[in-house]
């Protein structure tokens, strides 16, 4: 029994303590980075890795012999045990040169201004032009008008926005930005009818500067659909998605 424990302990000792520390550290990092789904944000990984480092520090320093095992090889390496042959000297020189070099590079990278363009700050729902802001639907809210709107929507809009209004029509994959998902609370549920009338009438080309850069595939419908039919489509969009338009009150 005792002999067994001893051999297993002897086996464990064979991996030098610094290597144990490195293996556990890298193992934990790989686990956090690649195994856990959904991926963790890097700030959280940093936090866990700090905790891992503290844990390893405690593991190493809690017993005299692990501390010795950890420090010994490092001190040997830095001091240059005369019994050790050439490769160690070369490695020591490499460390001596590389550490200040890396520090220099990272300082340089932090200080040089970047030539990359700033991130696109795009306003998703910019204010409509004044002539559109105060519009109200002149079309009565009747089942016939909703049905007419549905027919028009299926004919003109569903290839991109989808029959289910979820932005996943047969053509949606080719577009970036993707066609709006009207079922989502982030689109028409937040908007007024007048806003939709503006966006449908003037499409992607009608977006103001603050809505750019924005390679919107949304067509300009005012050239093809009469205003009263656009209002019918809007009526169906709200009816079909189960949302109600926002109003001032
Ligand atoms: C060629 C594909 C395509 C077709 C067809 C199309 N759209 Fe769009 N639509 C888009 C894309 C892409 C966007 C997102 C970019 C944008 O807002 O301009 C969009 C955005 C919209 C928005 C803005 C939603 C928001 O949250 O701001 C509305 C409203 C809209 N579409 C209505 C319609 C209606 C109604 C029709 C049919 C008359 C239609 N679309 C047809 C591609 C299309």
Residue 112: its pLDDT value, please? 83
The mean pLDDT value for 207-216 works out to: 78
Residue 1 has pLDDT above 80, yes or no: no
Q: Give the pLDDT confidence score for residue 43 in this predicted structure.
A: 85
- The whole-number pLDDT of residue 76 equals 79
What is the rounded distance in angstroms from the CA atom of residue 227 to the CA atom of residue 211?
Answer: 24
pLDDT at 213: 64
Please state, as a whole number, how many other Cβ atoms lie within 10 Å of the Cβ of residue 3.
7
Higher pLDDT, 216 or 1: 216
How many whole angstroms separate alpha carbon 195 and alpha carbon 149? 17
Nearest Cα to Cα of residue 232 among 168, 97, 139: 139
Instruction: Say yes or no: CB of residue 126 within 6 Å of ligand 1.
Output: no
Question: Which of residues 111 and 231 earns the better pLDDT score?
Answer: 231
Quote the tokens at residue 5.
């424990």
Predicted confidence (pLDDT) per residue in 68-80, tens digit: 888 888 887 777 7
Say yes or no: CB of residue 187 within 6 Å of ligand 1. yes
Mean pLDDT of 164-174: 92
Distance between CA atoms of 109 and 103, rounded to whole angstroms?
10
44-70 pLDDT, tens digit per residue, is 899 999 999 999 999 999 989 889 888
- Calculate the alpha carbon distances from 63 to 19, 109, 143 in Å: 17, 41, 81
Answer whether 183 contacts ligand 1 (Cβ < 6 A). Answer: no
CA of 182 to the centre of ligand 1 (A): 9
Q: How far apart are CA 240 and CA 153, in angstroms?
A: 10
- Measure the CA–CA gap between 134 and 131, rounded to whole angstroms: 7
Computed over every residue of the chain, the mean pLDDT equals 86
> pLDDT digits over 2-58, tens only?
445 555 555 555 788 888 999 999 999 999 988 887 788 888 899 999 999 999 999
Q: What is the pLDDT of residues 102-154, one digit of tens each?
A: 999 999 988 888 777 666 667 888 889 988 988 889 999 999 999 999 999 99
Query: Does position 81 have pLDDT exceeding 70, yes or no?
Result: no
The fraction of the chain above a pLDDT of 90, given in percent, is: 48
Q: Which of 179, 226, 238 to mutate to test the pocket of ligand 1 (most atoms within 8 A of CB)?
A: 179
Q: Is 160 in the pocket of ligand 1 (CB under 6 A)?
A: yes
Q: What pLDDT score does 69 carry?
A: 87
């Amino acid at each position: 029994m005792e002999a067994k424990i001893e051999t297993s302990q002897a086996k464990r000792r064979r991996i030098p303590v610094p290597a144990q520390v490195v293996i556990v550290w890298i193992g934990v990092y790989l686990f956090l980075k690649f195994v856990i789904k959904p991926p963790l944000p890097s700030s959280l990984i940093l936090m866990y890795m700090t905790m891992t480092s503290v844990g390893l520090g405690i593991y190493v320093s809690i017993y005299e012999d692990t501390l010795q095992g950890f420090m010994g090889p490092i001190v040997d390496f830095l001091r240059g045990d005369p019994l050790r042959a050439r490769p160690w000297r070369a490695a020591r020189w490499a460390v001596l040169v590389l550490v200040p070099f890396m520090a220099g590079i990272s300082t340089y990278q932090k200080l040089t201004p970047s030539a990359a363009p700033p991130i696109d700050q795009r306003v998703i729902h910019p204010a409509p032009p004044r002539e559109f802001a105060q519009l109200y639907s002149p079309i009565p809210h009747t089942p016939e008008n909703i049905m007419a709107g549905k027919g028009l929507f299926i004919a003109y809009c569903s290839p991109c926005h989808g029959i289910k209004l979820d932005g996943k029509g047969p053509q949606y994959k080719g577009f970036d930005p993707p066609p709006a998902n009207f079922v989502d609370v982030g689109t028409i549920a937040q908007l007024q009818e007048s806003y939709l009338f503006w966006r449908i009438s003037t499409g992607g080309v009608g977006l103001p500067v603050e809505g750019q850069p924005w390679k919107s595939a949304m067509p300009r419908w005012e050239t093809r659909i009469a205003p009263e039919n656009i209002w019918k489509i809007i009526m169906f969009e709200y009816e079909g998605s189960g949302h109600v338009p926002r109003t001032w009150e």
